[in-house]
């Protein structure tokens, strides 16, 4: 290769070297940038993962429930006296005089039963009584005649005694026949169904022509008469509140059909026993119903006026934790660390619960603790709420109830 050719190619080679070096440098920069970007992304992902590993919780402060005296419970109204009317004689319903809702007085006729079988039995019994009386009369005449001859040798004393015993037997037969007639006459009196006391007919379960069976033999009730001037209210009181509800405790009663009215009642009696399945004691209240505004069988909301337990705190029911260790609540300390506190429940009011012990008024309670949270776990607090609004609503409901 000549010298001129070498001189011509040198600038070209230098340019190629520069271009190659630039490509290499660019490749190094791209690789370095990718590595740095991946490292930054990994660092951000790690930070995001660490941040997401710390649960975010909302906390509330407990509310003092000491001013919410009383116990709100459901109950059922029943008539003060309720008498189902059954048939005492079989037959067919001949007529009825009073329907549901009618007011009746003691002794009023409710219905009449046609009893053809009983009537025939009474006719037969009266015929048997007539035969027994005729036999008694004949035995009496015979006994008197033989007794008049007892002092002579015309008759034996044994024959006289035999006629006397026959008379006594006939006397007994007359009494038995008379008793049978009296029994059937008394049963005929049951053809008329009578109201046993002043009240209201609350049920009529029969109609004209219906076959009537005796109640003791499986016959259904025909009428129900109820005294609703006063009502009995039955309520199941949790056993831990039973000592606070002695006889004479005042109560306020509400019924759905009159939501704007309240009625006053008084605890009259307690069953003095705990139902093993529900852990409650049945109590009976009496409420005046002279205005007739409440009905037997009605559902009632009952507010018993009892003294509240001292220092009872309210928290949302969602804050409770149930596990193998029992009942507890998760709180947050000043360093945003979780502290699990065992508590005892005073009363469950639905959206809120009352805590008897284990909680401090200044505790920050996690409103809805995550699953598996434990003491010492870090949390992120989003805000602090209060149960004041809920407490006011509960207080208003208690005052209305």
Domain residue limits, the chain: 56-68+310-400, 72-78+229-304, 116-189
Q: What's the average model confidence in pLDDT over 219-233?
A: 90
Cα–Cα distance for residue pair 112/46, rounded to 1 Å: 92
Cα–Cα distance for residue pair 221/169, rounded to 1 Å: 43
CB 267 within 8 A of CB 285: yes
- Cα Rg for the chain, rounded, in angstroms? 48
Per-residue confidence at 38, pLDDT binned at 50, 70, 90? Answer: confident
| Mean pLDDT score across all residues of the chain | 82
Cα–Cα distance for residue pair 90/381, rounded to 1 Å: 78
Q: Quick one: CA torsion of 255, 260, 266, 272, rounded to 10 degrees? A: 40
Which of 182-186, 218-222, 335-339 is modeled with the greatest confidence?
A: 182-186
Per-residue confidence at 147, pLDDT binned at 50, 70, 90? Answer: confident
Q: Which CATH architecture has domain 56-68+310-400?
A: Beta Barrel (2.40)
Per-residue confidence at 401, pLDDT binned at 50, 70, 90? Answer: very low
- Fold annotation for 116-189: Helix Hairpins (1.10.287)
Tell me which residue of 126, 57, 42, 111 sits closest to 367, measured CA to CA.
57
Give CA separation, 52 vs 45, 352, 373, in Å: 10, 30, 14
| Location of structure tokens 């402060």 | 61
Within 10 A of 343 (CB to CB), how many other CB atoms are there?
21
pLDDT per position as a tens digit, 52-81: 567 888 888 887 765 455 788 999 999 999
SS (H, E, C) 60-81: EECEECCCCCCEEEEEEEEEEE
Cα–Cα distance for residue pair 87/226, rounded to 1 Å: 18
For the cut 80, the answer to whether the pLDDT of residue 17 exceeds it is no
User: Is there a shared CATH topology between the 56-68+310-400 domain and the 116-189 domain?
Assistant: no
Determine what percent of the chain is predicted with pLDDT higher than 90: 38
Q: Which residues pair with 303 in a beta bridge?
A: 72, 252
Domain 72-78+229-304: assigned CATH number = 2.40.30.170
Q: What's the average model confidence in pLDDT over 320-329?
A: 86
Straight-line distance from the first to the last Cα atom of the chain, in angstroms, rounded to the nearest whole number: 116
For the cut 90, the answer to whether the pLDDT of residue 310 exceeds it is no
Which of 60-69, 125-134, 214-223 is modeled with the greatest confidence?
A: 125-134
Which of 178-182, 321-325, 349-353, 393-397 is modeled with the greatest confidence?
A: 178-182
């Amino acid at each position: 290769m000549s010298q001129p050719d070498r001189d011509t190619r040198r600038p070209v080679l230098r340019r190629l070297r520069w271009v190659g070096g630039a490509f290499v440098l660019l490749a190094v920069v791209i690789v370095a940038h990718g590595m740095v970007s991946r490292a930054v992304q990994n660092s951000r992902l790690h930070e995001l993962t660490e941040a997401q590993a710390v649960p975010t919780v909302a906390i509330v402060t407990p509310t003092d429930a000491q001013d919410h005296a009383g116990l709100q419970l459901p109950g059922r109204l029943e008539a003060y006296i309720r008498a189902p009317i059954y048939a005492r004689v079989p037959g067919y319903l001949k007529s009825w005089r009073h329907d549901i809702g009618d007011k009746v007085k003691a002794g009023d006729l409710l219905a009449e039963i046609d009893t053809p079988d009983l009537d025939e039995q009474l006719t037969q019994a009266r015929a048997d009584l007539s035969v027994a009386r005729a036999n008694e009369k004949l035995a009496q005449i015979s006994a008197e005649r033989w007794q008049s001859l007892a002092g002579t040798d015309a008759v034996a004393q044994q024959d006289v005694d035999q006629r006397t015993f026959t008379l006594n037997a006939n006397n007994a037969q007359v009494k038995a026949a008379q008793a049978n007639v009296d029994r059937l006459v008394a049963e005929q009196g049951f053809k008329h169904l009578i109201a046993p006391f002043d009240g209201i007919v609350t049920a009529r379960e029969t109609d004209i022509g219906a076959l009537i069976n005796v109640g003791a033999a499986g016959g259904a009730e025909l009428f129900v008469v109820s005294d609703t001037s006063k009502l009995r209210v039955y309520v199941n009181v949790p056993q831990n509140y039973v000592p606070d509800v002695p006889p004479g405790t005042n109560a306020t009663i509400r019924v759905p059909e009159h939501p704007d009215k309240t009625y006053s009642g008084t605890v009259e009696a307690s069953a003095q026993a705990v139902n093993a399945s529900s852990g409650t004691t049945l109590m009976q209240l009496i409420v005046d119903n002279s205005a007739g505004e409440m009905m037997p069988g009605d559902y009632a909301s009952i507010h018993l006026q009892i003294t509240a337990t001292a220092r009872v705190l309210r928290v949302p029911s969602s804050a409770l934790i149930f596990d193998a260790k029992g009942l507890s609540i998760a709180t947050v300390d000043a360093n945003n660390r979780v502290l699990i506190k065992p508590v005892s429940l005073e009363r469950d009011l639905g959206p809120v619960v009352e805590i008897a012990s284990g909680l401090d008024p200044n505790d920050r309670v996690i409103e809805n603790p995550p699953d598996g949270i434990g003491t010492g776990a870090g949390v992120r607090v989003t805000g602090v709420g209060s149960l004041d609004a809920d407490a006011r609503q509960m207080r208003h409901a208690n005052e209305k109830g």
